Structure 1
């Protein structure tokens, strides 16, 4: 089953959506992962997720507020 509270799961699902070319859902799951990582104060994963969000935003030309999560 899908664990909605797992940042790692959201991050992985975001990667899968990216591989399928679905930027909107990839970005949504990356932002959900970021919210959870921030609550856990996990700086390494926050940095990795922010980098992924930036890549997605550029790749799919999605307008996004800076660090909005």
Structure 2
């Protein structure tokens, strides 16, 4: 699973819109590009999104393990 796919899954689990998931960290357009695999997200911004929504980092990285 890619980081974008995992973010989208967490977004759905939390019942958030893409705008709410990205708010205050990145634009909705940038978030859309990330979840669609068209843009990579820096680790700083990824961690910021995860912390903002109280997403456990260990669990998140388990999701994206290959």
TM-score by length of 1: 0.31
Larger radius of gyration between Structure 1 and Structure 2: 1
Q: TM-score, normalised by structure 2?
A: 0.31
More helix by share: 1
Higher relative contact order (CA 8 A, sep 6+): 2
